[in-house]
């Protein structure tokens, strides 16, 4: 069978819907059945989705289907019925907005000192807290190694903890911003991703969105803007 664009998009939708409903990736046979494709065509469809940057796969499993993750990236998101892994600070704060089920408990630890942090994140406004988000990898370089980039989008106790962590690991300063800005960044970034058909933002649209939520400068645009694509 030759896969059509519609076949591939149904696989994308079924994969995302499975993560949304259960918190985990559906078994291959169930995923193929939900998508209406032959089990033998599923790998080909997933390969296309990875090439299109809709998913990230390692060793035959989906590691990232933004904002959902298939393994621990240091953020959990919990409703009354379901537990998800968030792929990063951005994704973890985005899951409650995308699923529209009311506030959810987002939890993590500070990479520098190990302090536990948890917030009720929902659509009505940013959670209270003096913690700060720090993203290490500039947007133009995220897809050079998207797993590493997501692993380094974290929340710290304070800018002092950010500095301590960067010095410990001999890393450059990235972009540091408040929980309120993180909440704004996450609030509408994934709008429409659970619809049967979805079009990713182009680089100019992504840059405009970042500016709208208060994130500007070289880190968020830069000379490589033409290579920036939506996570």
Provide the CATH number for the domain around residue 101: 3.30.450.410
Residue 24 in any domain: the answer is yes
Q: Among residues 40, 65, 90, which one ends one of the domains?
A: 65
Question: CA–CA separation, 66 vs 196, rounded Å?
Answer: 16
- Residues 196 and 219 both lie in one domain: yes
Domain housing 15: 5-65
Output the pLDDT for position 224: 44
Question: CA–CA separation, 76 vs 53, rounded Å?
Answer: 23
Using the predicted structure, report yes or no on whether residue 83 has a pLDDT greater than 90: yes
Question: What is the total count of domains within the chain?
Answer: 2
- Residues 31 and 94 both lie in one domain: no
pLDDT category of residue 227 using cuts at 50, 70 and 90: very low
- What phi-psi label fits residue 25: left (phi over 0), alpha (psi between -120 and 50 degrees) or beta? beta
- Residues 9 and 117 both lie in one domain: no
Beta-carbon contacts of residue 169 (< 8 Å; ≥ 6 apart): none
Answer whether 111's CB lies under 8 Å from 169's CB. Answer: no
Residue 168 in any domain: the answer is yes
Question: CA–CA separation, 220 vs 230, rounded Å?
Answer: 12
CB atoms within 10 A of CB 157: 20
- Residues 52 and 112 both lie in one domain: no
- Residues 28 and 134 both lie in one domain: no
What is the sign of the dihedral through the CA atoms of 48, 51, 57 and 60?
positive
- Residues 26 and 100 both lie in one domain: no
Using the predicted structure, report yes or no on whether residue 229 has a pLDDT greater than 60: no
Residue 158 in any domain: the answer is yes
Using the predicted structure, report yes or no on whether residue 197 has a pLDDT greater than 80: yes
pLDDT category of residue 223 using cuts at 50, 70 and 90: very low
Strand order in the sheet with 153-156: 153-156, 132-135, 175-178
Question: CA–CA separation, 215 vs 43, rounded Å?
Answer: 37
Residue 27 in any domain: the answer is yes
What pLDDT, in 10s, does the model give residues 99-137?
Answer: 998 899 999 999 999 999 999 999 999 999 999 999 999
Instruction: Report helix, strand or coil for 133.
Output: strand
Question: pLDDT: is 81 or 229 the higher one?
Answer: 81
Answer whether 106's CB lies under 8 Å from 75's CB. Answer: yes
pLDDT category of residue 39 using cuts at 50, 70 and 90: very high
- Residues 49 and 95 both lie in one domain: no
Using the predicted structure, report yes or no on whether residue 215 has a pLDDT greater than 70: yes
Instruction: Report helix, strand or coil for 25.
Output: coil
Percent of the chain exceeding pLDDT 70 equals 95
Residue 70 in any domain: the answer is no
Residue 211 in any domain: the answer is yes
- Residues 158 and 86 both lie in one domain: yes
- Residues 96 and 13 both lie in one domain: no
Answer whether 8's CB lies under 8 Å from 48's CB. Answer: yes
CATH of residue 26: 1.10.10.10
- Residues 55 and 113 both lie in one domain: no
Beta bridge partners, 107, equal: 76, 118
- Residues 177 and 91 both lie in one domain: yes
- Residues 123 and 11 both lie in one domain: no
- Average per-residue pLDDT in the chain? 94
What are the strands, taking DSSP E only, across 11-96?
56-58, 61-65, 68-69, 75-78, 83-86
What pLDDT, in 10s, does the model give residues 144-187?
Answer: 999 999 999 999 999 999 999 999 999 999 999 999 999 999 99
Q: Among residues 65, 88, 106, which one ends one of the domains?
A: 65
Residue 58 in any domain: the answer is yes
132 phi/psi in degrees, rounded to 5: -130, 145
């Amino acid at each position: 069978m030759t896969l059509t664009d519609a076949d591939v998009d149904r696989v994308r939708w079924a994969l995302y819907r499975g993560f949304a409903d259960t918190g985990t990736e559906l078994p291959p046979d169930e995923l193929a059945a939900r998508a209406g494709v032959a089990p033998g065509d599923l790998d080909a469809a997933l390969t296309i989705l990875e090439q299109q940057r809709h998913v990230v796969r390692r060793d035959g499993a989906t590691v990232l289907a933004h904002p959902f993750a298939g393994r621990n990236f240091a953020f959990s998101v919990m409703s009354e019925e379901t537990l998800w892994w968030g792929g990063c600070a951005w994704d973890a704060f985005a899951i409650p907005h995308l699923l529209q089920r009311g506030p959810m408990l987002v939890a993590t630890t500070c990479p520098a000192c190990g302090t536990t942090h948890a917030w009720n994140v929902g659509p009505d406004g940013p959670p209270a807290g003096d913690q700060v988000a720090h993203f290490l990898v500039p947007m133009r370089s995220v897809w050079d190694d998207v797993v590493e980039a997501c692993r380094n989008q974290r929340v710290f106790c304070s800018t002092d903890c950010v500095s301590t962590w960067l010095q410990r690991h001999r890393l450059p300063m990235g972009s540091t911003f408040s929980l309120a800005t993180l909440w704004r960044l996450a609030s509408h970034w994934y709008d429409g991703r659970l619809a049967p058909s979805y079009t990713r933002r182009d680089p100019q649209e992504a840059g405009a969105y970042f500016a709208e939520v208060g994130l500007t400068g070289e880190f968020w645009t830069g000379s490589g803007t033409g290579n920036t694509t939506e996570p």
